[in-house]
Amino acid sequence: MSEEIFGEDEIIVLTDEDGKEEKFIILCIIEYNGAQYYALLPEKQDDEDDGYVILRAEEEEGETMLVTVDDEDEFNEVAAEIDDYLNSEIDYDEGNDE
């Protein structure tokens, strides 16, 4: 599995089915079971409890498209991998001067 983590300056703009554009912060990109998944945080969140969005990259006519993960088992497996990865990247000792 390969992973890539980004800072808050990595922004992606996605357009939904209705043509509405929304900006997302790329938290990380992981490869899992031969597919690439993006963990994206909406730049404007309605509620502080809103989590990140998981989308799968698919090639269509030579262009990379990000699609919703509809399969619940696939989504849960990828979410667990992303959570493990993001939690492993947190430096719990940072700023701790004891």
pLDDT in tens, 36-86: 999 999 888 766 656 899 999 999 898 888 999 999 999 999 999 999 988
pLDDT-derived band at 3, boundaries 50, 70, 90: very low
Mean pLDDT of the 89-97 span: 58
Q: Which long-range contacts (CB under 8 A, 24 or more apart) does 80-86 make?
A: 81/1, 81/30, 81/32, 82/27, 82/28, 82/30, 82/37, 82/39, 82/52, 82/54, 85/3, 85/5, 85/28, 85/30, 86/5, 86/27, 86/28, 86/39
pLDDT value of residue 47: 63
Q: pTM above the 0.85 mark? A: no
Rounded Cα gap, residues 48 and 11, in angstroms: 19
Confidence at 1, pLDDT banded by 50, 70, 90: very low
